[in-house]
A and B are shown apart, each in its own frame.
Chain A
Amino acid sequence: MEILKESKTIRTGPVLFSHYTRGEGVKKAIQLSREDILLEVKESKLKGRGGAGFPAATKWMIAAAAQSDEKYIICNADEGEPGTFKDRVLLMEYPELIFEGMVIAGYTIGASKGIVYLRGEYEYMLASLEDYLYVMRQDNLLGKNILGKDDFNFDISIRLGSGAYVCGEETALIESLEGNRGEARNRPPYPANTGFNGNPTVVNNVETLASIPHILIKGGEWYSKRGTDKSTGSKLFSVSGDCEKPGVYELPWGTSISELLSMVGAENAKAVQVGGASGICIPKGQFNRKLGYEDLPTGGSIMVFGENRDMLAVLKNFMEFFTEESCGQCTPCRIGNVKLLEGVEMIEKGNYTFKYINTLKELGQTMQLASKCGLGQSSPNSFISILDNFKDEIFHSNRSNGRSNGRRKN
């Protein structure tokens, strides 16, 4: 755990890692109407930072429009995607941004309760986060009639997750909070309508919420000028793997892979996995591609693989992860991932046919289309992209392709 606490963050950045005075965001918010805040967030074009990239303003508007006595703001701090550790830095060093983002969200959609779903492994932060909430209550940044605003009540509680990757998926997270098995729900209905205990619920990633106070203070327009047209603002990237300077970087969207690689000291990389285990793997030839929703979206995980990495071993590792971490409820994901993993093992042993590998790629497409939640929908990404992008390495090494001769088996 000690290593985890030490973050090698590059701590300066244009937005999240810039200066912020505690309480300013909430102060600003309560002077505005709910509609004004929604407009501001809409103008910022902020998209969810948890991976799916759903426009934050749209989600908030649905929840704001929903009729209910009870609504919830849930901060998704499950940070389970392999290679992601940027939420950890925000939680450790900028809790004020996250919590105030939640307060503002609550004010905007009319919720009075916020819940932080904190990754089980981050339990060591619990005490300090609770202390922080205590101070916020003292300062009336939480509690009743916040900062004197009549009838604006909001409080935050922290709940610990217990280790399943799928519980980061928003509906599985809600099931988990309700005390059920962490399994994704059918959608529609969406949480913004029917979420925690059946109430309208906004689930946002830590980083999404942490961006809110800055957007309110500096304006949506200011925020939207950063990054690219469809990917506004800046983004935290957790860079790990074969590089000299791993860490969390705040960069504008639109940065290319090669720019990022030179920044982190990994010019010799052979491959970059963008978006964690569920993301896609980019070969050297495509390093000019840009990070952003237009081309390479990511929740922030960037894994760098050096010249000596065995890409099949990398793939196997990912597939083992999904085989284990599928919640197990739906057929394509529960069994499909096993089949993909078996395919990798066949290649490893040289005991495969190209026909079957192609069948598995088609199966991967079915999984992308027919799985119930994002886990199964994205788990074939690395299978397909690694086998496509690293064909030469994987299939033309001295592994035999196991051509069969049609003789009787014994």
Chain B
Amino acid sequence: METKEEVRTPVSQQPYTVDVTEEVDGIGSKVSIEINDKKISVPLGMTILEACRENQIHIPTLCHHPDLCIAGTCRICVVELEGMHTLQTACSFPITSPLKLHTSTPMVRKARRHIVDLLLSEHYGECYSCVRNNNCELQSLAKEYGVDQYTFGHVTEPTFERDNSSPSVVRDMSKCVMCKRCVRTCIDLQEVGVLEAIDRGDQTHISTFQEKPLADVICINCGQCINRCPTGALHANDPSDDIWNAIDDTQKHVIIQTAPSPRAAIGEMFGQEPGTSYTGELNTALRRVGFDKVFDTNFTADLTIMEEGTELLLRLYKALVEKDGSMALPQFTSCSPGWVKYLEHFYPEYIDNLSSAKSPQQMFGTLIKTFYAKESGIDPKDIVTVALMPCAAKKFECNRPEMNDSGYKDVDYGLTTRELGQMIREAGIHLPEMSQSHFDQPFGDASGAGLIFGATGGVMEAAIRTVAELVTGVKAEDLFDNARVTPVRGFEGIRYLEIPIADVGPVPEILKDLIPDFEWLKGAVLKVAVAHGTANAKKIMEDIKAGGKFSECHFIEFMACPGGCLGGGGQPIPTNEEIRNKRANAIYTEEESLPVRKSHENENVTTLYDKFLTEGPCGHLSHKLLHTHYTKRGKYIA
């Protein structure tokens, strides 16, 4: 075992680590084993599953997920070990001594077939009427084991009511296979802890606190459970029927804004390898589907940087120069609605630290129904705003009661990458074959800084490029190699960076009315941090509570989902570290090819401030339209 403090999951759920190093064979040494009569040598402590996979021997799995700790409960991965009278699960069995194993004996095949048959006997529904048709691990297992009948029967009525109380996550427990991947996601990966197994024996099922509907518990809507559900038991609350209706309604002007990370992932829904962006193709496909306008959420990401960056400078100025003790620092980013709700539940005392800037999605909704409606002469009541997001929580966010500053519901529908992929398919379009096209005016194509919002650390990098350049007067490209702020990139759970400000420049035009000079920042060290996944967010929050190093930070980026938006709960299934890495590569590669890579250099943004938000960032109109407030929810449920 690692240090005891780190053990937060039940020990049974921990991957086994070898703790006896005194033996002749220490960590790092090899063990010779035989798999299916073939001799191989594997690192001490490796599991049988890992050893088989490394040697191209297929072992079926169901409850196993590379992001999660080991459960060993579905039993589908059983193998035969010579000398042991029961079968052993490959996923959980650590190789610590020489052994001989067989992965396809009559006993093994029969057991696996029985397990699939048993799961099918309790699994309600037919594949053709399921969201996960063709992307379901139970279905694949049934195929792999040649199931052609329901040996142990099959339920014909749903065994549970569907819980569709949440705007984000729908639970359909009649399709649950009890792999508990959602439970492990919620408890271990996200440390939220909304889902758990309750009751015993054949009554065992996954539920919430007091079996309350998901909308009434402290679910943060991140949807990470959906991404890890092997079946259709968990899925997002899908608005596509309503969107089709709007598209088909000639009275309605239907606008879709597309977030950065779905572009880097949607190809996966069309059989493409992870890691290719389909930005231009997607634009064309969306018009073919019937959207009247396609806008780039990166535009409002750039706008977010202007608003949130200015807010940060103002907070710092008031705190450091005007000695205003009420200024909450560090400032926390607010663009991840899962993170926002997490904070509202778990650390409500810190809501003043959240940037009041709305998320890019919500800023766009407001702007479309105000600025764009006026510019284009369309009555905002006839505009339907759809947001393509990698996210389940965005659905909750657009339904927050306060999100109607335009006088209408700012964003009508949050649509996930998966749901849009399905709409595109339904329209008879094969995305990768589309020609490329640009985003629509007046917002146009945005900057690279907006694009990297899709990866963890991206908001911070975009903010640093802009704030550092505005404050020092030195080009971000000269401050950082090719404007890459590499220390905030990557998938390390928590990243920390100190940026010394050696010299300051003159206050740029756009901030003149707010801050007289930057002299007070001369010689200062800007301290920032990045966390992704709420388990990491929790670590930072606990550190801040204890007055640790993160309490001295000025600005912290939090993303609810592991990997940031590219690993969001609305992204194509499956997800794992390798896939998230490839999506990140796609984003960073595309970013470097863009002509503009800093938010404040996005001309459409400056035009917006010239023409519409004339008082500049954090001005009155900005405050009315682009900023918001939060709710102290707490974690105690009535």
Contacts and interface: CB of A to CB of B under 8 A. Distances in A.
Interface of A: 66-67, 164, 171, 174-175, 178, 180-181, 183-186, 188-189, 193-194, 197-198, 322-332, 334-339, 342, 359, 362-363, 365-366, 368-372, 377
A186 B92 contact: yes
B593 interface: no
A256 to B, nearest CB: 26
B75 A330 contact: yes
Given A323-B202, A366-B110, A335 B12 contact: no
Given A180-B10, A338-B202, 4 more contacts: A67-B22, A328-B178, A366-B115, A370-B115
B119 interface: yes
A331 B152 contact: no
Given A197-B4, A362-B110, A370-B115, A335 B201 contact: no
B12 A370 contact: no
Contacts of A338: 202
Contact of A369 (B16, B70, B86, B96): B86
Nearest to A368: B86
6 contacts: A164-B200, A178-B10, A186-B70, A186-B92, A325-B200, A331-B74
A331 B73 CA distance: 7
B86 A377 contact: yes
Contact of A332 (B93, B115, B196): B115
Contacts of A186: 12, 16, 70, 72, 89, 92-93
Contact of A323 (B87, B93, B119, B201): B201
Contact of B114 (A330, A337, A366, A372): A366
A378 to B, nearest CB: 11
B11 A370 contact: no
B75 A332 contact: yes
B92 A335 contact: no
A328 B93 contact: no
Task: List the 7 shortest-distance A-B pairs measured between CB atoms, nearest first.
Answer: A328-B204, A185-B12, A186-B92, A335-B118, A186-B72, A366-B114, A324-B201
Contacts of B107: 369
B32 to A, nearest CB: 18
B111 A366 contact: yes
Contact of A188 (B74, B93, B121, B199): B93
A339 B152 contact: yes
A334 B201 contact: yes
Contacts of B78: 369-370
Interface in B419-441: none
A195 to B, nearest CB: 8
Given A198-B4, A369-B111, A175 B10 contact: yes
Interface in B7-30: 7, 10-12, 16, 19-20, 22
Nearest to A343: B152
B201 A188 contact: no
B523 to A, nearest CB: 48
Given A67-B20, A185-B11, A326-B202, A372 B110 contact: no
Given A324-B201, A370-B78, A370-B111, A331 B11 contact: no
A336 B118 contact: yes
A335 B155 CA distance: 13
Interface centre among A186, A323, A324, A332 (most CB of B within 10 A): A186
Contacts of A331: 73-76, 115, 118-119, 177-178
B89 A328 contact: no
B621 interface: no
B180 interface: yes
DSSP majority for the B interface?
A: loop
A189 B20 contact: no
Interface residues of B, number: 48
Interface in B59-104: 70-76, 78, 86-87, 89, 92-94, 96
Interface of B: 1, 4, 7, 10-12, 16, 19-20, 22, 70-76, 78, 86-87, 89, 92-94, 96, 107, 110-111, 114-115, 118-119, 121-122, 151-153, 177-178, 180, 196-197, 199-204
Nearest to B115: A331
A178 B71 CA distance: 17
A188 B177 CA distance: 25
A339 B118 contact: yes
Contacts of B22: 67
Contacts of A369: 78, 86-87, 107, 111
A190 to B, nearest CB: 11
Contacts of A188: 16, 93-94, 96
Contacts of B7: 198
A187 to B, nearest CB: 8
A370 B94 CA distance: 17
A394 B167 CA distance: 54
Given A334-B178, A338-B202, A329 B115 contact: no
A217 B85 CA distance: 36
Contacts of A197: 4, 11
Contact of A337 (B10, B12, B202): B202
A329 B204 CA distance: 8
Contacts of A342: 153
A335 B202 contact: yes
A328 B203 contact: yes
Question: Which of B22, B93, B199, B201 has the most C-beta atoms of chain A within 10 angstroms of its own C-beta?
Answer: B201
Contacts of B11: 174, 178, 185, 194, 197-198
A189 B203 CA distance: 29
A334 B78 CA distance: 17
Nearest to B15: A186
A149 B1 CA distance: 32
Most buried by B among A342, A366, A372: A366
Nearest to B20: A67
B86 A332 contact: no
A329 B111 contact: no
Nearest to A182: B200
User: Which of B11, B86, B89 has the largest count of A CB atoms less than 10 A from its CB?
Assistant: B11
Contact of A334 (B12, B196, B204): B204
Contacts of A377: 86
A298 to B, nearest CB: 18
Contact of B74 (A67, A194, A330, A365): A330
| Interface hub of B12, B86, B121 (most chain A Cβ within 10 A) | B12
B106 to A, nearest CB: 11
A335 B96 contact: no
A335 B75 contact: no
B59 to A, nearest CB: 14
Contact of A324 (B87, B94, B115, B202): B202
| Residue of B72, B177, B197, B200 contacting most chain A CB atoms (<10 Å) | B200
A359 B133 CA distance: 29
B458 to A, nearest CB: 38
A334 B202 contact: yes
B119 A335 contact: yes
A370 B75 contact: yes
A363 B202 contact: no
A194 B12 CA distance: 9
B75 A194 contact: no
Nearest to A179: B10
B202 A329 contact: no
A329 B10 CA distance: 14
A173 B4 CA distance: 20
Contacts of B199: 328
Nearest to A363: B114
Contacts of A324: 200-203
A153 to B, nearest CB: 21
A322 B200 CA distance: 10
A332 B119 CA distance: 9
A328 B201 contact: yes
A206 B17 CA distance: 31
